[in-house]
Structure 1
């Protein structure tokens, strides 16, 4: 399994944040309350997808399994489809299934629509157990200790019919979370954490 160097600048846990982090957060919260006009609008993710259903096609290169179908219809996510996606994106090394943030599927569906691709997303890395993530950290400095992969909020993908840089550019323009561009490794990292790029 290829393991991506993922989500840099992941939020720190409470012990690591300390007083400075709390003060920064408090100042930002007070500013937002005092000046509501300066609070940014909802991220680009709020823009509707075309049509009354949302479809997604993924191919996991590690297990050679695929999902192709509707995961959202009639104004709601389809639990059966979400379960299938969770299994598809499981940590096959640890044989663990994580529960995915369905907003990530919305990002991928919008991205696929924007790029007008005829190919399924090739999944390089989906969910990672903490054990698999620790192993990835030993191999690479770029893997975050609190990776969004361990939270079911990140995926590393590519499209055979779209240049990697175009995928990264389109994902960044959506401002729906973190986007990392890894041309040497051949994938783009996408997550539903804070908006940031690398």
Structure 2
């Protein structure tokens, strides 16, 4: 029997904490966004022994990188790899870890594979819930990402077709928010790093159509990930669930993080 994930909700990671950085001005932000989006020269996208693309996650906050072999073309990762992902995608300022939803990592894999990218660069993933503020980040169901070599609009356009997703474009901050949810919702937020959100919903018809097409493909939104017990057995047994079985979505309030250590980028 596989061991349960070692990550504990709200538990600090063993590694040192990352101190928040001071806010940058618009010129500095534009320069670092350009660096984030630039592929690393002479660096190939990782593949496994069978030549299948691997999911590579790089944290811009901690400079940590992992590569994970997928079970198939649509993703699928072992309990051990979910544990590794939870550590790299922890809240950097506090060191708190939280299990990441397996479907979220599957979506990241599909995005990386589609663009044949070297890696997924992460601005923010898990963030400990704050009083009176709700976010899918606090549930381990959201990643603010950059795909080197692709524009944020290109990434958002592809991700909106995946079904049962929240896709937010942040032009000033320079990333795409991707989450898993009961019903798709798309938005644009022009607030800068660490600023109060200025969210504007867009493409409502496309969101509904994307979910409908996902249902036609035989897909359903999955229930929240339960990391207790035999994780590998849970992954094997997970089956489509009807939307009515899902809990209400969390709103993504104050979604722009203010902690990014972009050393090397």
TM-score (norm 1): 0.63
Greater per-residue strand proportion: 1
Can you list the C-alpha shifts for 1:67-106, whole angstroms capped at 9, x where unaligned? 1121547x96311111000000001212211011100011
Instruction: Kindly indicate whether the alpha-carbon contact (under 8 Å) linking 2:122 and 2:145 is maintained by their aligned counterparts in 1.
Output: yes
User: What is the CA RMSD across the aligned residues, in angstroms?
Assistant: 2.4
Match of 1:197 among 186, 189, 210: 186
Q: Verify: 1:110 aligned to 2:98, yes or no.
A: no
Structure 1: segments with no counterpart, 5+ residues: 3-50, 138-144
The structural deviation recorded for 1:176 is: 3.5
Greater per-residue helix proportion: 1
Q: Verify: 1:62 aligned to 2:51, yes or no.
A: no
Question: Alpha carbons of 1:76 and 1:66: their partners in 2 closer, same or farther (altered >3 Å)?
Answer: closer
Can you list the C-alpha shifts for 1:103-162, whole angstroms capped at 9, x where unaligned? 001111111122222x2111000100124xx5xx8xxxxxxx220000000000012211
Q: Secondary structure at the match of 1:83?
A: helix
Q: Verify: 1:154 aligned to 2:142, yes or no.
A: yes
Q: Secondary structure at the match of 2:103?
A: helix
CA distance in structure 1 between the partners assigned to 2:77 and 2:63 by the alignment: 25
CA distance in structure 2 between the partners assigned to 1:113 and 1:91 by the alignment: 26
Instruction: Kindly indicate whether the alpha-carbon contact (under 8 Å) linking 1:107 and 1:176 is maintained by their aligned counterparts in 2.
Output: no
TM-score (norm 2): 0.48
- Tell me how many residue pairs correspond in the alignment: 137
Match of 1:187 among 175, 188, 193: 175
The structural deviation recorded for 1:53 is: 6.8
CA distance in structure 2 between the partners assigned to 1:55 and 1:167 by the alignment: 18
Aligned match of 2:88: 88
CA distance in structure 2 between the partners assigned to 1:183 and 1:173 by the alignment: 20
Question: Alpha carbons of 1:123 and 1:58: their partners in 2 closer, same or farther (altered >3 Å)?
Answer: same
Instruction: Kindly indicate whether the alpha-carbon contact (under 8 Å) linking 1:54 and 1:72 is maintained by their aligned counterparts in 2.
Output: no
Moved over 3 A (4+): 51-54
Q: Matches of residues 163-182 of structure 1 in structure 2 within 5 Å? A: 163-182=151-170
Structure 2: segments with no counterpart, 5+ residues: 1-19, 22-49, 188-265
CA distance in structure 2 between the partners assigned to 1:76 and 1:166 by the alignment: 24
